[in-house]
Amino acid sequence: MSRPLKLISWNVNGLRSAARCGLLDWLGKEKPDILCLQETKADPGQVEEIVSRLSGYHVYFNSAKRKGYSGVATWTRAKPARVISGMGIPKFDEEGRVLITEFPSFALYNVYFPNGGRDLSRVPFKLEFYGELLRQLNARKQKGEHLVVCGDYNTAHKEIDLKNPKSNQGTSGFLPEEREWLDRYIKEGYMDVFRRFHPEPERYTWWSYMFNARARNIGWRIDYHLVSENSASRCVDAYHLPDVPGSDHCPVALIWK
């Protein structure tokens, strides 16, 4: 039997900034088989020096049309059979939010879900994105494909997933209509792997830069690996790496066989 794979997802809040904070040194020590990055905020041409220092990875980017905004990247030791950028919908794809890498036994979705905005103006866009992605995932799942959907979902699913649920009822990221979409993903056959292994509270993946929130662990869990239900037996473990610096998010890991 081949060894399990380590799949890590991390919203780096700027690839160049994370690199200055030691991302490549961390990568050399952690040695994931696949690293999915969100909010890279860079075109490939802007990070050539970073990419040139990588060893043993095939590197793929889907950058936003707007400079310094959004963007995802997947770095993988095994070369994918196919790489797909985006969902085929221009208004979503111009923001560089989806990168799909297909391997012989599964398809990996690296996704940076939209933020609804402080004024909630982007909530309709965000909910439409949730719906379209689910429609496309379901079409593949119905064919029996094994799917891993990782990234920054920009929503805390349950009250356990953030420190202060009562005071954030009207905040994007914890609105009822946003949480309902995660309910729907689960209901339609996608498993939240971390919660399978870790039902305990106060396990977060994002902390505000203000008010010493990270040191006080006043955070939100908004970064996930969801997998299609036919893949449950392939999930060996899932965990967070909250002590890794370089972003307001921490890396989240899935061990997959």
The verdict on whether 152 is a catalytic residue reads yes
253 - beta bridge partners? 8, 239
The type of residue at 17 is S
Q: Check if the beta carbon of residue 207 is closer than 8 Å to that of residue 213.
A: yes
Q: Check if the beta carbon of residue 255 is closer than 8 Å to that of residue 189.
A: no
- The residues near 122 (Cβ < 8 Å, ≥ 6 apart) are 114, 115, 116, 172
Q: What separation in angstroms does the CA of 241 have from each of 156, 164, 198, 246?
A: 18, 21, 14, 12
CB count, 10 Å around CB of 58?
Answer: 15
The values of phi and psi at residue 219, to 5°, are -135, -170
The catalytically annotated residue of 152, 161, 192, 223 is 152
Residues designated as active site: 152
